[in-house]
Structure 1
Amino acid sequence: MAKHHKTKELTVLALLTALSVVLGRFIMVPTPTGFLTLLDAGIYFTSFYFGARQGAIVGGLSGFLIDLLAGYPQWMFHSLIAHGAQGYFAGWTGYKRVLGLLLASFVMIAWYFLGSLLLGYGLGGSFAGIWGNVMQNFFGMLVGYFVFIAVKGAEKK
């Protein structure tokens, strides 16, 4: 029975990763250092619904894959770390929820700032990317939360 549970969880996480990547590719807004997407909505939904570990898996894999598919391979490992940590912290529950959401936002935004510096965008380019990452993060959090509420409501019926 435990093997069936693991297979089911792996399948669900693979589907959520694929859906997050598709959602991210559906709307892509170019920026000086990359692009903005709805990828975060899938990450936040997964974290809210399933928890920290699953959020980290879907976050890291979907961030990695969207950069590969969008033609930004230099960002793949940065996205693996930034969105993996984002998904992990967003999945914190109980009294740690608010701290987790703050950390999820901070780590994602800060990692992309540092990634921009490491990739040679300089301080100007790195600072230019902050506002877009803030907007992507919080819009994704909002959409992910609304999807979470809708799914939880549908379960009760």
Structure 2
Amino acid sequence: MTTSDKQRQTRRLTLLALLTAISVLLGRFIMIPTPTGFLTLLDAGVYFTAFYLGSKEAALVGGLSGFLIDLLAGYPNWMVISLLAHGTQGYLAGWSGKKRFIGLVLATLAMVGVYFIASVYMYGLGASLAGIWGNLLQNVLGMLVGYLLSRAFNR
């Protein structure tokens, strides 16, 4: 590996670490109250990374961010679930070209679906059904904010 390859790899890892840290901050400290809990902007970081860098990077940032937020918030039972939900969300959202729309729909279904299934197992069907709208709204808000930020950065 040449020096320029090492420098490029170091820059890329640094960028992914910064995007993960920003996503954790957005998800942990910016909370929008709702009747059933709160929305965070974690998904904005996931979608920004997906639109700006692509699938693999968004899967990494999404999975690590979700995992770390639950660790910091004191919800260790959700850490692996969030890793799976937001990692899959990021990977699918990063699809490009003609697959972009399908990827965004699947990313939404994956995130909401993983949390729904985990909630059924942990808390029962009633709690799971109540959580769908909040997760869906958080996803759509994150998609919108992530898209707008990526457009601003691409200019």
Q: TM-score, normalised by structure 2?
A: 0.93
Contact 2:36 2:134 in 1 (8 A): no
Q: Cα RMSD (Å) of the superposition?
A: 1.6
Number of residue pairs matched? 152
Deviation at 1:6, TM superposition (A): 1.2
Q: Deviations 1:24-80 (Å, cap 9, x if unpaired)?
A: 122225779975311000000000000000000000000000111111111000000
- Matching residue within 106, 109, 118 for 2:109: 106
Q: Measure, in 1, the Cα distance between the counterparts of 2:25 and 2:153.
A: 19
Secondary structure of the residue aligned to 1:92 is coil
1:51 aligns with 2:48: no
Gaps of 5+ in 2: none
Written as runs of structure 1 = structure 2, the 5 A alignment for 1:44-83 is 44-83=47-86
Q: Measure, in 1, the Cα distance between the counterparts of 2:104 and 2:93.
A: 5
Written as runs of structure 1 = structure 2, the 5 A alignment for 1:2-151 is 2-29=5-32, 35-119=38-122, 121-151=123-153
CA pair 122-69 structure 1, distance change in 2 beyond 3 A: same
Q: Measure, in 1, the Cα distance between the counterparts of 2:88 and 2:10.
A: 24
AA aligned opposite 1:118:
Y
Gaps of 5+ in 1: none
Contact 1:32 1:125 in 2 (8 A): no
Secondary structure of the residue aligned to 1:130 is helix
Identity of aligned residues (%): 64
Q: Deviations 1:92-145 (Å, cap 9, x if unpaired)?
A: 0000000000000000000000111122x1000000000000000000000000
AA aligned opposite 1:13:
L
AA aligned opposite 1:115:
A
AA aligned opposite 1:128:
A
Q: TM-score, normalised by structure 1?
A: 0.92
